[in-house]
Chains A and B, each alone.
Chain A
Amino acid sequence: MTNSMSNTEFVTNLVENQYKVLKTEVLDQYQIAFEVKKEDVHSILSLLKTSGWIQLSYLSAVDWIKDNEFEVVYIVFNWDKAVHIQIRTRLDRESASINSVLPIYPGCKYYEREAHEFFGIKFPGNPDYEKQLILENWDDIPPLRKDFDPRQYSDKKFSHMEYKNDFVNKDGKVSKQEAREKRFSDADKLRTGGKK
Chain B
Amino acid sequence: MLSTKFSPMSKEEVDRKWWEIGDFFRRNSLWMLMYCTGCCAIELPPAMTSAYDMERLGMGPMATPRQADVLLVTGYLSLKTLRRLIYTYEQMSEPKYVVGFGSCTINGGIYHDSHAVINQLNKYVPVDVFVAGCMPNTESVMNGFIDLMDLIKNKKANGWKDYHERNDWYKANQKAALGEVKIHDEFHE
A interface, CB within 8 angstroms of B: 135-137, 139-140, 143, 148, 150-151, 153-154, 157-161
Can you spell out 30 A-B residue pairs with CB atoms less than 8 angstroms apart? Answer: A135-B116, A136-B79, A136-B80, A137-B79, A137-B178, A137-B180, A137-B184, A140-B115, A143-B116, A148-B115, A150-B113, A150-B114, A151-B113, A153-B115, A154-B108, A154-B114, A154-B115, A157-B176, A158-B117, A158-B118, A158-B119, A158-B120, A159-B119, A159-B120, A160-B108, A160-B112, A161-B107, A161-B108, A161-B119, A161-B120
User: Interface digits, B146-189 against A, CB 8 Å rule (1 contact, 0 not)?
Assistant: 00000000000000000000000000010011111000110000
CA distance in complex: A153, B106 (Å) = 19
B interface, CB within 8 angstroms of A: 79-80, 83, 106-108, 112-120, 123, 173, 176-180, 184-185
Query: Across the interface, do B80 and A150 meet the contact criterion of CB distance under 8 Å?
Result: no
* A136-B83, A160-B107, A161-B120 given; A150·B115 CB < 8 A: yes
CA distance in complex: A136, B178 (Å) = 9
Query: Across the interface, do A137 and B179 meet the contact criterion of CB distance under 8 Å?
Result: yes
B113: nearest chain-A partner, CB-CB: A151
Query: Across the interface, do A160 and B80 meet the contact criterion of CB distance under 8 Å?
Result: no
A137: nearest chain-B partner, CB-CB: B179
B83: nearest chain-A partner, CB-CB: A136
Min C-beta distance of A119 to chain B, whole Å: 14
CA distance in complex: A26, B118 (Å) = 43
A163: nearest chain-B partner, CB-CB: B107
Query: Across the interface, do B107 and A158 meet the contact criterion of CB distance under 8 Å?
Result: no
* A137-B180, A139-B179 given; A154·B112 CB < 8 A: yes
B119: nearest chain-A partner, CB-CB: A158
Residues of the B chain whose Cβ atoms lie less than 8 Å from the Cβ of A154: 108, 112-115, 119
Min C-beta distance of A124 to chain B, whole Å: 22
Query: Across the interface, do A161 and B106 meet the contact criterion of CB distance under 8 Å?
Result: yes
A162: nearest chain-B partner, CB-CB: B120
Residues of the A chain whose Cβ atoms lie less than 8 Å from the Cβ of B112: 154, 160
Residues of the A chain whose Cβ atoms lie less than 8 Å from the Cβ of B173: 159
Sample of 12 further A-B pairs with CB below 8 A, known A151-B113, A154-B112, A161-B120 = A135-B80, A137-B79, A137-B180, A148-B115, A150-B115, A154-B108, A158-B108, A159-B119, A160-B112, A160-B119, A161-B107, A161-B119
